[in-house]
Amino acid sequence: MTGSRIETFKALVKKDPGNPLGRYSLANEYYKLEMYPEAITEIKEYLKIADDQGAVYRMLAECYIKTGDLEMGREAYYEGIEAANRHGHPGMAEEYEEAIDLMNE
């Protein structure tokens, strides 16, 4: 079923590459299937067209961490902190700060 969902979202993105929901949904499906490089690519495309409030940065950070790129994982969390603060989500920013602290231990 998830494979068909990927095809559905790929078709949506092909039809309208600037559709943020399509990009986010495709990234999320890749993430659920542990297709982390593909998820990273789609998240980056999503962020070019959407001002995310912070949540997608958790997924991005986790993708980088799962692929062994801890530095980019930290960077994603830092970007998530900025986005969360910009949109008035201090709890999310604090969660990301804690995640960075755990990575640094």
Q: CATH no. for residue 59?
A: 1.25.40.10
Question: Residue 17: in which H helix or E strand, if any?
Answer: none
Q: What domain range is 90 assigned to? A: 2-103
pLDDT tens per residue across span 35-68: 999 999 999 999 999 999 999 999 999 999 999 9
pLDDT tier, 2 (very low <50, low <70, confident <90, very high otherwise): low
Give the number of domains in the chain: 1
Buried b (16+ CB within 10 A) or exposed e, 55-85: ebbbbbbbbbbeeebeebbbbbbebbbebbe
Mean pLDDT across 80-96? 97
